[in-house]
Structure 1
């Protein structure tokens, strides 16, 4: 029985606010802890009207303060937006406050458009080696004897698991070369999933952090008491995804009956592709789809995301997912 974890972007629904999203985030984390989820991750996105997790390290602190055992972390921090020293200090602080519970996942995408990325850091680099250099610099700040002329305080000597995130072969190669666990964003970009998994496993080099490959895969679950209800609830995320890919990012809209039938062929093809890493339905339906995905990929862990408009329905989806995990 592999671990299940939760990925939460603190979605802002239509007619609501970021403050309400943060209350919901903590509520889901507290329930997830009781239901046996392994970790609770939040992701850095900027300039998105429907995502409230931009200040990711602050939100991690909020969740960690309101829970006791579940691991809390970033899935991920988009390192090109930041100085590695600043991230070392932030996560050194988090680990000092909540020892043994903090994860740090790192991605090389800006988590935004190019205009927003410039506003965040203002010195965008086209050098493909910049991200690996930044990762190594960040890891060095956490070491017991850093080589950097400046020390991360807090940060030096702390034990924080570092993950490499990705949706292409680049992240797989880097994670394997550094001997780090690898999280693939199959929940929204499944195109190269199987190739990336194989490349990572075939080229993995053991490290002080990890002695063998460890693959976490993103997976969408929209679970409810009936298949029909689950299909209906999933349309909020489907609308949001189509809006985003159409250049019209939005707050998470309410579910819409017969939404898929209203779409043109290109939008339907888009959703059909991304839904290849999703389970939608009643408990038995979801259990079958989860088992098929795990058997196909050999995943070591699943990172479950369930963006629904109604908070109670979202909680129920995570509860059902936790319950069916024991049957897989």
Structure 2
């Protein structure tokens, strides 16, 4: 592991609102920058009362304005929801405002339920054009793109780094084929992590964008002074995910000591989804992150964790940064 980064869903806690969630995101980003996190990504989700980052490019601008040096980007933009030119214009504008700091991670899923997906993609054919759309976006960012009959303004020549995101083998294959960095969503879908990383690394084709494979794995982290406190704080995310899985999405619940409202079969699915996580005291979290890094050998780790209490999340991030800094090797040249 060479670097460590942070993924924020801009969670909206019960009893709070989106304005507070977005203010907390900016505050956490400043903290993450001071703690040495290399990049800070926001994720696109729609029709979810507990997530305030649906307008992802706007929130990225909000975070970039609140920080000074840390890279900020999308983890990611769900490309089926958008025309490639619009994405290129948005991120070309961000890269013009904050040069050398903007990342664009692209995902193939809609990031929502199918009814909302239809609302987002109204008038589109529904055909899977993800590979072509990725290539089209990179073309808008390239040097000399201002000579094309259709161009992103701003955008041409910004060379915004494009990442492929995924939780299946499809993204690994595409990232390898295009010679792009690859980020795996193991923080909620770890089942294919090992196979996807192997495919990406063994099939990687060097490109003008990247000479060698660069693999990022995501993991959940919930750290506190004791194991018991961390498990208590984590209950908010467990409840939120369980309610989402049973068709009852809402704001991020307050933590509880009793998770009996979650049926055993649902809890089994939640625990499987969160298998790539580190929960506990500093010592417990260090041991678990160390195990995951040793097993999967990522070039970069991206941590995430939703907590109802903002101060607790700040403290968890501090502990995670201490651990990750100990485990990180000196970085190689990469964006």
Specify if TM > 0.5: yes
Instruction: Give me the whole-angstrom Cα distance separating, in 2, the residues matched to 1:258 and 1:300.
Output: 38
Structure 2 contact 143–159 (Cα < 8 Å) conserved: no
Equivalence map 1:142-181=2 (5 Å): 142-146=141-145, 149-181=149-181
- Tell me the equivalent position of 2:254: 254
Instruction: Give me the whole-angstrom Cα distance separating, in 1, the residues matched to 2:33 and 2:319.
Output: 14
Taking structure 2 as the reference length, the TM-score comes to 0.95
Structure 2 contact 223–319 (Cα < 8 Å) conserved: yes
- Tell me the equivalent position of 2:74: 74
Instruction: Give me the whole-angstrom Cα distance separating, in 1, the residues matched to 2:47 and 2:121.
Output: 14
Structure 1 contact 48–250 (Cα < 8 Å) conserved: yes
CA displacement, residues 256-285 of structure 1 (integer Å, 9 cap, x when unaligned): 1032x5533212211221221000000000
CA deviation after TM superposition for structure 1 residue 117, in Å? 1.4
Structure 2 contact 242–267 (Cα < 8 Å) conserved: no
CA displacement, residues 234-255 of structure 1 (integer Å, 9 cap, x when unaligned): 0000000111111111110000
Query: What SS does structure 2 have at the residue aligned with 1:133?
Result: helix
Instruction: Give me the whole-angstrom Cα distance separating, in 2, the residues matched to 1:181 and 1:82.
Output: 21
Structure 1 contact 287–327 (Cα < 8 Å) conserved: no
Query: What SS does structure 2 have at the residue aligned with 1:222?
Result: strand
Query: What SS does structure 2 have at the residue aligned with 1:103?
Result: strand
Query: What SS does structure 2 have at the residue aligned with 1:221?
Result: strand
Structure 2 contact 187–276 (Cα < 8 Å) conserved: yes
Structure 1 contact 140–148 (Cα < 8 Å) conserved: no
CA deviation after TM superposition for structure 1 residue 148, in Å? 5.0
Runs (4+) of structure 1 exceeding 6 A deviation are: none
Equivalence map 1:93-242=2 (5 Å): 93-128=93-128, 130-146=129-145, 149-242=149-242
Q: Does 314-323 or 137-146 show the bigger shift? A: 137-146
- Tell me the equivalent position of 1:32: 32
Equivalence map 1:261-272=2 (5 Å): 263-272=262-271
Equivalence map 1:297-308=2 (5 Å): 297-308=296-307
CA displacement, residues 85-143 of structure 1 (integer Å, 9 cap, x when unaligned): 01111111000000000000000111111221121121454533x01011111111111
Instruction: Give me the whole-angstrom Cα distance separating, in 2, the residues matched to 1:160 and 1:26.
Output: 22
- Tell me the equivalent position of 1:11: 11
Instruction: Give me the whole-angstrom Cα distance separating, in 2, the residues matched to 1:123 and 1:305.
Output: 35
CA displacement, residues 28-56 of structure 1 (integer Å, 9 cap, x when unaligned): 00000000001000001110010000011
Structure 1 contact 117–124 (Cα < 8 Å) conserved: no
CA displacement, residues 174-199 of structure 1 (integer Å, 9 cap, x when unaligned): 00000000000000011111111101
Instruction: Give me the whole-angstrom Cα distance separating, in 1, the residues matched to 2:152 and 2:65.
Output: 23
- Tell me the equivalent position of 1:91: 91
Instruction: Give me the whole-angstrom Cα distance separating, in 2, the residues matched to 1:48 and 1:72.
Output: 23
- Tell me the equivalent position of 2:44: 44
CA displacement, residues 63-102 of structure 1 (integer Å, 9 cap, x when unaligned): 1011001100000001111111011111110000000000
- Tell me the equivalent position of 1:323: 322
Q: What is the total number of aligned residue pairs between the two structures?
A: 326
Tell whether 2:65 aligns with 1:65.
yes
CA deviation after TM superposition for structure 1 residue 149, in Å? 2.6
- Tell me the equivalent position of 2:309: 310
* RMSD of aligned alpha carbons: 1.2
